[in-house]
Structure 1
Amino acid sequence: MPTEPRPRTLPARRHLPAEVRGTPVLDVVVPVHNEQRDLEPCVRRLHAHLVETFPYGFRITIADNASTDRTPEIAAYLSEAIAEVAHHRLDRKGRGRALRTVWAASDAPVLAYMDVDLSTDLNALLPLVAPLISGHSDLAIGSRLARSSRVVRGPKREFISRTYNLILRGSLQARFSDAQCGFKAIRRDVAERLLPMVEDTGWFFDTELLVLAERAGLRIHEVPVDWVDDPDSTVHIVRTAAEDLKGVWRVGRALAVGALPLDRLARPFGDDPRDRQLQGVPGGLARQLLGFCVVGVLSTLFYLLLYSAFRTSMGAQLANVAALLVSAVANTAANRRLTFGVRGRERAVRHQAQGLVVFAIGLALTSGSLAALDTAAGRPSHTTELIVLIAANLAATVLRFLLFRIWVFSEQGVAGRGRSTSARGRSSSTREQSPPSRGPEPFPGYRSPTAPAGPVDNPREHR
């Protein structure tokens, strides 16, 4: 029996059903390495807190990173003594490797993790995962750098944390405030698409996950936390900082060349009828116009600089052709990524070929203008040539935008801006007749929210 093709983008977010049928809603992973002293107090305190405050079924998974002390023994004991506790043993170290392994195998629709030292106040756990359960957000992080956070730690760690986040903002344009707080959560449907793109298996795992999610346009919810530093932390600061800087360089380079298929993480709008695309009103027009204008201004300046440089050694027509050709390739690449949100290498060659056709039309306009100028003025001055070329380029720019939108990138969605790539070509009437797809069930055993109402069971009876 043939399998259905995997959808290119994520489905619309939806609130998880309130009833639980055997599968926990939340899976909290506690990655550990040689934590025989802190493991049991941490798990028991976390379990007691969830029993008292969390209204859904949950699981606590101990991810043992190749511990050599009694940590595996204690983890096995806790999993036998407490029904909601499980443990997973890994043969190699690495927090990122542990989270990737456990999250990939989990059946819970919401996945979280926290450090074993419980430096973060557990009262922030429900606010952390609530936006993911409701369908409002895709990821959630605890932030020690928010204004309302209360943090107790030494000046050395404070300086390192703030410096690292400044580096992320300056190099990767990150807008989230705290990449390294060991208190995060993600929806499973997002993790299934996002985790294969994350290469790091150590401490940089968190940062890479967040940067890629943000660049893809996913919604990241931040929760101010109260946090007390663990003075016995075994993290090697210098080595970790060096690995993180290598990771920043690797991710920045991958994003710069468009090597990551971030379009697979695009989200459509939700199920509200007001979010449906209206007939005759293309989605994202205002944003595309703004992006195209910015790229157009920069391309025009680039073109004029090239033309002035080429004009010193060749005739006006040849200088115009050379300047247009180089600037056209750069313009198509910039509009492909920035204006129309197309990332990755798929169809890049085709887009450039179509862009060259658009270039040929622009060439005809500008070359025709120069020819008309030469006929009318004989030997015009360089300033006059530039004025005529600017006017011709403005006309070519308007035509270029229309051709890009309705021909070159007509089948491409706006990545990370809420439109599904598969929905762009549908009409409004088609959308109204066919309700938007809700995608696969978030996890096995849940009753559909549209099913007939029945007696509501106590979620805790199904843990």
Structure 2
Amino acid sequence: MRKRLRRFAVVGLIATAVDVGLLVLLLDRGWSVVAADVVALAVAAVAARRLHRLVTLRDDPFARWIRIRRVFVSVVVTAGMVDLAVLAVLGTPGGPGRDLAAKAAAVAAAAVVRGIAYRAFLFRVIRREQDRPSERPPPPGAFRVSVVLPAYREADRVADAVARVREELGGALGRAGDVEPVEVVVVDDGSPDDTAARAEAAGADRVVRLERNSGKGAAVRAGVAVATGRTVVFTDTDLAYGPAQAAALVTQVEAGYDMVVGSRRHTDTRTLVRAGRLREVGGRLVNLATHALLLGQYRDTQCGLKAFRADVAHRLFDASTLDGFAFDVELFHLAERWRLTLAEVPVEVENSERTTVRALRDGLRLVVCVSESYNQRNVGKSVADSLLDLEEVLKLAGQQSTPVDVAIG
């Protein structure tokens, strides 16, 4: 990621140097400011597009904007008009010195316009791509749905969670032919108590014990790795989202969506027990951060109820690297990169007073965590630079759908 940002910055500097240098050259030859600026902008735009394709994004098959000529041209024309307007207002009367100062302001204004325009375009493209459920057959699986419950120090309520998931979600779904409805997977995230033993005693189908407390992302990843359902759901062990609600997400996945997420900000969401004020502030901070980091402008990335096609889930979590609570944001990022279909659905939420999330602290850490993840070699290798198109991603996902047993110990 850092390498690509450096390339982007270098290409931007080269294009700016071409723009300003050609403007100065043409002004010295007696051209009018407007004519000189139009020619300089056109040459710089052509050079920038060429260099971005050859240098900045040469190994990125997921870059949408640079490959659509009409979008590039329309954005360049709009930004160029802003550049011309700023230069016309601020330049000329003061001579060459003032023209250069005006050009600097014009370049900055045009850069802002380009950034806003490309982001708006990508938002529309991504949301349009996401809202196209496919008609692929369901992936193989021994259960209709696997529910992954990450648990840390949950000895007092994990048994109730296992029973409720099996009873409430199983009752809401029913059998699908000869496939059992629900597989319950509990992941003990290095708890110092007997969370794992109680989950086993409660009848969880699979119990995975991590040797140390590694974070929610690591726990969910371990659970997904052993899940054998056709759809994979993860939710919190406090069951702030009643288990029966997951049936709506499963139905959407079975209708063709790769990823279906609950949203506490959806207009139809009901909050039965509100979170504390500090958690609400932290949640809003997280939303602001994710709007800056992601292109889809999702209502709620941190809702603790999400569902995936099993093949997609295995591929997503194989590629993910974040272990903490910010792992959700990485999943959205991967979904955008891989052009996965995605739907947001309303939920009913009954917030628990007990939580391992520290709202304000974790809200601030979110930006740092995700930014650092993009700079890791593993993320660049497995996500942005993998050179896999969607068909290949799904093909590999299908090949990797057989779970790996993780011993308890």
Aligned counterparts of 2:354 and 2:198: Cα–Cα separation in 1 = 20
Aligned counterparts of 2:278 and 2:162: Cα–Cα separation in 1 = 29
Task: Rate the CA distance shift 1:441–1:164 in 2: closer, same or farther, 3 A.
Answer: closer
Aligned counterparts of 1:157 and 1:421: Cα–Cα separation in 2 = 40
Helix, strand or coil: the match of 2:368?
helix
Alignment TM-score, normalising by the size of structure 1: 0.51
* Alignment: residue pair count: 262
Tell me, which stretches of 5 or more residues in structure 1 are unaligned? 1-7, 263-342, 347-412, 423-436, 445-463
Compare 29-38 and 243-252 and name the one that shifted more.
243-252
- 1:455 aligns with none
- 2:357 aligns with 235
Quote how far apart the aligned CAs of 1:254 are.
7.1
Give the alignment partner of residue 78 of structure 1, picking from 191, 202, 208. Answer: 202
Letter in 1 for 2:269: S
Once the two structures are superposed, the pairs formed by residues 62-461 of structure 1 within 5 Å of their partners are 62-79=186-203, 85-93=205-213, 94-134=215-255, 136-151=256-271, 152-251=274-373, 259=380, 262=383, 344=385
Task: Rate the CA distance shift 1:13–1:199 in 2: closer, same or farther, 3 A.
Answer: farther
CA deviations 1:64-101 (Å, max 9, x no partner) are 1111112122112112xxxx633111112221111111
Helix, strand or coil: the match of 1:153?
coil
Aligned counterparts of 1:441 and 1:251: Cα–Cα separation in 2 = 26
Tell me, which stretches of 5 or more residues in structure 2 are unaligned? 1-60, 63-133, 403-409
Normalized per residue, the structure richer in helix is: 2
Task: Rate the CA distance shift 1:205–1:421 in 2: closer, same or farther, 3 A.
Answer: closer
Identical counterparts, % of pairs? 27
Helix, strand or coil: the match of 1:102?
helix
Helix, strand or coil: the match of 2:183?
strand
Q: Does 2:76 match 1:35?
A: no
- 1:53 aligns with 172
Quote how far apart the aligned CAs of 1:188 are.
1.8
Q: Is the 1:117–1:230 contact (alpha carbons within 8 Å) kept by the matching residues of 2?
A: yes
Task: Rate the CA distance shift 1:214–1:119 in 2: closer, same or farther, 3 A.
Answer: same
Task: Rate the CA distance shift 1:156–1:139 in 2: closer, same or farther, 3 A.
Answer: same
Helix, strand or coil: the match of 1:25?
strand
Aligned counterparts of 2:267 and 2:170: Cα–Cα separation in 1 = 30
Q: Is the 2:230–2:310 contact (alpha carbons within 8 Å) kept by the matching residues of 1?
A: yes
Aligned counterparts of 1:132 and 1:42: Cα–Cα separation in 2 = 23
- 1:292 aligns with none
Aligned counterparts of 1:172 and 1:23: Cα–Cα separation in 2 = 35
Quote how far apart the aligned CAs of 1:251 are.
4.6
Task: Rate the CA distance shift 1:345–1:206 in 2: closer, same or farther, 3 A.
Answer: closer
CA deviations 1:219-269 (Å, max 9, x no partner) are 1111100112111223233443343222232355579xx93555xxxxxxx
Q: Is the 2:240–2:352 contact (alpha carbons within 8 Å) kept by the matching residues of 1?
A: yes
Quote how far apart the aligned CAs of 1:140 are.
1.1
Q: Is the 1:30–1:116 contact (alpha carbons within 8 Å) kept by the matching residues of 2?
A: yes
Aligned counterparts of 1:440 and 1:171: Cα–Cα separation in 2 = 29
- 1:403 aligns with none
Task: Rate the CA distance shift 1:53–1:421 in 2: closer, same or farther, 3 A.
Answer: closer
Helix, strand or coil: the match of 1:47?
helix
Letter in 1 for 2:252: P
Aligned counterparts of 2:363 and 2:356: Cα–Cα separation in 1 = 14
Aligned counterparts of 1:172 and 1:252: Cα–Cα separation in 2 = 12
Q: Is the 2:282–2:362 contact (alpha carbons within 8 Å) kept by the matching residues of 1?
A: no
- 2:22 aligns with none
Quote how far apart the aligned CAs of 1:28 are.
0.1
Helix, strand or coil: the match of 1:259?
helix
Helix, strand or coil: the match of 2:191?
coil
Letter in 2 for 1:54: L
Helix, strand or coil: the match of 2:229?
coil
Helix, strand or coil: the match of 1:103?
helix
RMSD: 3.4
Task: Rate the CA distance shift 1:181–1:421 in 2: closer, same or farther, 3 A.
Answer: closer
Helix, strand or coil: the match of 2:202?
helix
Letter in 2 for 1:70: D
Q: Is the 1:168–1:248 contact (alpha carbons within 8 Å) kept by the matching residues of 2?
A: no
